[in-house]
Structure 1
Amino acid sequence: MTTATPLVNGQTIGLAHYASRALLERVLARSGTTFNQSVALRAVSDNGGTVERAWLVGRLTGALKIDESAAHKTVAGMTDAKLLEPVAGQVSLTDSGRELFEGVRVGGNEIAARLYAGIPAEELATAGRVLALVTERANAELADA
């Protein structure tokens, strides 16, 4: 039996997201890290290890489509757990936060390597452009609502 190639739409994008996220959740569970915390760790790490607390809250609300109270709760939980250190309106990765993020990053990269193996670079680039455009349009509609 031959399976037809599915159209790219919200359902196929969602299925790919949830399947790959389920694999990442296994990595996160080993360290007791939530998905929201992993997004925060990456955001801080990708921006030099120290960011404005308000920027991080905005990044979480924008990227995860969560409300501000949930984003503040994530950041507060991370400071309580000594993953982030608050200093004068900013938060910085602690040594524990860096170590945790490195483990999550390595695990996530291993998953990505397996999932994307054998897919030609030009196809991945096309998919990336399409998904970035869909995200941009959805975010524009959300901003207008």
Structure 2
Amino acid sequence: MTSTPQPANGRTIGLAHYAGRAVLEHVLTRHDATFQQQITLRRAVVADGPLDLGTLVERVTADLKADPAGVRASVDSLLAKGLLSADGPLISPTDAGRDLFAAIGAETGEISARIYAGIPAEDLATAGRVLARITERADAELAALTS
């Protein structure tokens, strides 16, 4: 069911975000993972090589606008689960971490395909441009508030 179109604003964007996030959280729960763990694991898996612990924490903190201590706790939990490994300060995904990331990606990819089915490519391109601009502006506002 499609409701009457509403202009994009914080509420409509937030509702879309939380609807998608709820789907992802459901998938993550089945894999005994949290959202923050999945984002942290993603950063490690898609990196060109091992990441310095500080760099990994910094990148995930910036991605999620999260507390660095909480991100470090996610890294520690992924290390404890054997999904990441440490060689001194360098962090890498393990085979189990890559497998988990792939499994979550496959499952959410199928769901996403159903969610986005039938939406014209030009609409998705426009939405992508608008959301990128909103993100850029919100990041600038946050930087101004926290400096």
- Give the TM-score range, shorter chain: over 0.9
Q: CA RMSD in A?
A: 1.4
How much does 1:11 deviate?
A: 0.6
Which structure 1 residue ranges, 4+ long, deviate > 6 Å from structure 2? Answer: none
Unaligned runs of 5+ in 2: none
**Conserved? CA contact 1:44–1:50, under 8 Å:** yes
How much does 1:133 deviate?
A: 0.7
How many residues are aligned here? 144
Paired-residue identity, % = 48
Which residue number in structure 2 is paired with residue 82 of structure 1? 82
Which residue number in structure 1 is paired with residue 31 of structure 2? 31
Which residue number in structure 1 is paired with residue 114 of structure 2? 114
Unaligned runs of 5+ in 1: none
Secondary structure of 2:86's aligned partner: strand
Letter in 2 for 1:76: D
State how far apart, in whole Å, the 2-side matches of 1:101 and 1:49 are.
16
Which residue number in structure 2 is paired with residue 93 of structure 1? 93
Within-5 A mapping of 1:37-48: 37-48=37-48
State how far apart, in whole Å, the 1-side matches of 2:67 and 2:132 are.
22
**Residues 36-45 or 130-139, more deviating:** 36-45
Letter in 1 for 2:21: R
**Conserved? CA contact 1:49–1:93, under 8 Å:** no
Secondary structure of 2:51's aligned partner: strand
Q: Does 1:71 align with 2:71?
A: yes
Q: State TM-score, norm by structure 1.
A: 0.93
Letter in 2 for 1:137: R
Q: Deviations over 1:25-65 (max 9, x none)?
A: 11111110100011111111221352221121112211111
Secondary structure of 2:6's aligned partner: coil
Q: State TM-score, norm by structure 2.
A: 0.92
